Structure 1
Amino acid sequence: MSLEIRRSKGLAATQRQQPRPSATVLSMQELERLKLKISGVDLDKEEAMQRERDKEAKHQASCNMVKNWRNTIEGQRLKRLENLKVKEIKEEEERVKIDEEEAEFQAARRQELIDRAKTLLYYQTDRLKGFHSGLLLSEILKEREAQIAFKKQRSDMYKDRDQMYQRYQEELREKTKVADTLAAQERSKAVSEIAAYQAKQISEHATAKKKERERQLEEQTAIDKETQRWQEIEKEKEMQAERKKLILRQELNDLIMSNRTFARMKEEQEKMQQAECELFAKAKKNMTKMRKQKEAEIHRELQGHQEKIAKHIESMVEEKVSNEDELIAKAVAEQDAKRERIEREKAEKQMKSAAEIDECCREMISEQERKRREMREHEQELLRQRVEQDQRFHANNLQKEQKKIREAKEVEKFLKAQMVEKEERERMEREEEKTHQQKNLSLLKVEENQFQEYAGQVIQETKERDLNTFPLKKASKRGSGGGHGPVFSAKGEVRPSYQPCASPIVELPSYASKEVPLAWKPSNTKKRMGFNW
């Protein structure tokens, strides 16, 4: 910027030196302002950016200056942060080292567990179980011999102990006999004392019982007197109750007689009313209500005054006869009018129904004609559609047959390819099976060698412990399978079992015989084959 200012000053001086007819004199600030305006530079923005750059440069210089100071708060903070980072790096290295050691330990632990599992699985095989059973049998035989020796030693010891015990029992028997004699004498003395005491108590109890008996006799006499007096009172009460019952029974008989008289009168009245009701059956429904009311009224009046009831009944009967005549006449007239109205309405309904039936018949005939026409048109349309469907069906069948032929050719081609692929796969499987069998035979040989080595060590230790080694030698013979047959070296030292042809399904014995007995019977053979003849 200073270079531009100097250039502008030189340019201004040159311009001032050159004579011009008209010139405007500008100050340096005004000239700079015009130049910046022409160049499009914002002076304020440039100044602000320059101040920010200067401030940032000063801050960076200050940071670089105080970066290594140790006597300031910021320097101490940075030192602590640096120490913390170094500490974290060391701790991370320690953790990585511990993790590596832990991984190595876990790997060794896993390998140890795997070896242990393999050993346990090997111990779970049938052959090892049989060998261990032989070892257990050897231990049992040894224990049995030790128990027999201990039993013999114990029986000898028991003989001496029995003699000592017999002498002790004899001495104890003598002491017990003397003690029993002394105890019997003491018991006899105690019994005599108890007998005297009991005799004294018996006499005292007899005297007390006599006095108690006399007292009870006196009490019984007093109780008898009180009982006799109470019985007399109760007898008097019963006689009074009997008299009351007789009075009540007489009153009840009078009431029953009055009720019977009332029932007889009521029965006669009902008979009379029944006869009247039969004459006027058509108006029975309306008269029944009135009769019930009148009967209730008559019943209330009959209870108090029989003569009044009779007179009232006569007056009510006369009044009822007159009222019933009027009601019957009125009912007959109403019934006739109703019957005529019903017959007239019935005739009108019949005429109207006949007209409606005629109209309905005409409509039904026209509707049936229309339906027959529509049915014929529909059948023709169905026939046309069926013909079209048959044509389409035949065309589709032809296409399907052609498609089936193409698909059959493709399937035949695919099946041929599958057969070739299957033959190749079976050949490869046979080769793999053969390789697998060879590996299996080698593994079986290795296992057999390991077993024989393990069995030899166990048998040697058993000999050192002075145990019977026959079960172990029998269980450790060469060949797996546990059978009685020969050993097949070509199949991994396998000793299979052989089953005879006889009916009992057992293994062949391990011994050889010069004779070959008949191992089956024709009847058993027919039975196994399922023949019934």
Structure 2
Amino acid sequence: MVIKILPDPSTKPNINDHLISQKQRRSQSAPYSSHVRSEISQQRRLPDAADLRRMCIITKSDLNRIYENLDYRQRNKDAIQQEIARKKELAERSAQITKHWPNTIAGARERKLEMKKIREQEEEERKKLLDIEEEKLAAERRREQIEKAKQLKYYETDRIRTFHSALLHTEVLKERDLQIDMKRRIEQLHHADAEQERQRYQVAQNEYKKAEQERLEKKAKDRANLSQYHLAQVGRKRIQSAEEKQRNQREGEEYRHLAEQYAFEQMEIERYRKLTQKDVKNMYDKALEDRYKVKQMEQQMDDEEDEELRIYAEAKKKIARLRREKDIQAHQEKQEARDHMIGYLGSLQKRAEANYDTQIFRAQAQREAKELREEQEKLDKRQKMLESINKYRYETMKRREAEKEMEQCEDIDMRQKKAEADQLFLLYQQEKDKKRNQNAQALADFHLKQAQERKEREHGLKDSELDEVQLDKHMNEIERQQYQDYAGRVISYMEENERNTYPMKKVYTEEMKRFDQWSQDYRKTESSNNNDEKKTFNQNKKSLDQTKKSLGFQWNISNK
């Protein structure tokens, strides 16, 4: 048996509070006091101070089961890893054993891979051979295209184009001969056709005459039939005219009867109209009487309105008269006020005339005092102006004397500086002359060097010209040979086909003459170049002084 102590519940605050509350309730409800309970609890404790009420007793099997449950996952992981390692080891051993077996899937795969590799190598070799063959074919095509381009370019030259024009002329002549022959044959065919046409025309003419005779006979027969038809038609028209005459008579009787009926109806209408006229006259008279009565009533109403208007006009005149009287009264009042004001102003004017002399005397005194004051101010102002002028003159004289002294000092300094500048300029001119002489010497050397280089360059150009002439001569010979071969083959082919080769031979002869002329020109050019070389050799023997003179030097240069 194993004894295991459970954890103290006092470690958890919530549970502790709960236990304290339970303990209090128990203490309140328990029959024993707290002292007695403490003694009882001490009696129940084991010697090692373990409380039996807080202990859990389990068996060994339960403890082992608990341990197994705790280590279950780790043991499963270890078992799985061991199984994986075992399977991996077995797989490696199996692979080592079956590595070289020919009748396994892996062996078959290896053989297939090796065979595939061999096939790929063979395919690669075959492709390489095909590429080589294609390159050869491409090179051959390029060569053919280049040859074709050269041939086309050769055909585009003026010489070959002229020869081809002659060839075309030859073909045109041949075509012209063929056309003449064709025309002759066509004329023969036309002559034979004309004879056949004449015979056909004779046969057609006979047939036409026969058909015309038959047509005339048929026309006479038709005319006889038509005359019989016309006679029958005349008889029918006579019968129709008689019937129409009878029908017109019947219609005339009907129209007469209708006219009589119409006249009777008109008489009835006239009688009715006369009766209605009397009624209308009576109605008109009655309407006139009514209109007269209406006019009388309107006249009476107009008279009443005129009376009202007369009364209104009299009242209006009375109001206008009263307004005029009121305006006259207001005007009289204004006139009286104006007269009173005029009298008052007249009295004021009389009093003002009495005071006028006094005002004049006072004004004269004021004007004289003002004139005296202005005169005194002018004198003071003039005195101040004279003083300022004298002061300005004195200051100006002093300033001019100071400026004169300063100008004298500056003039002395300027002379000294000018003398120093002249000395420096003299030194500069000497240095400049020295440098000019050095530059002239260097320029002379440079000109001599340029002359030598120009001679060498001219000699090189002449050599290159000679090379070009030789090359042109060689190319001319090649072109002549090519043209001669090509033209000869074409002319011989045309002669075999019975063509007129005169234009081609003419062009061929002219081109050969032109080739000969070019050969002569090349020989002349070579001879002239040789003469120029001799002249150049003689000119190189001139002295240095003559060379300087030819270069245009105007100063003496020491010979080096």
TM-score normalised by length of structure 2: 0.38
Greater relative contact order (CA < 8 Å, ≥ 6 in sequence): 2
Q: Which has the higher helix share?
A: 2
TM-score normalised by length of structure 1: 0.40
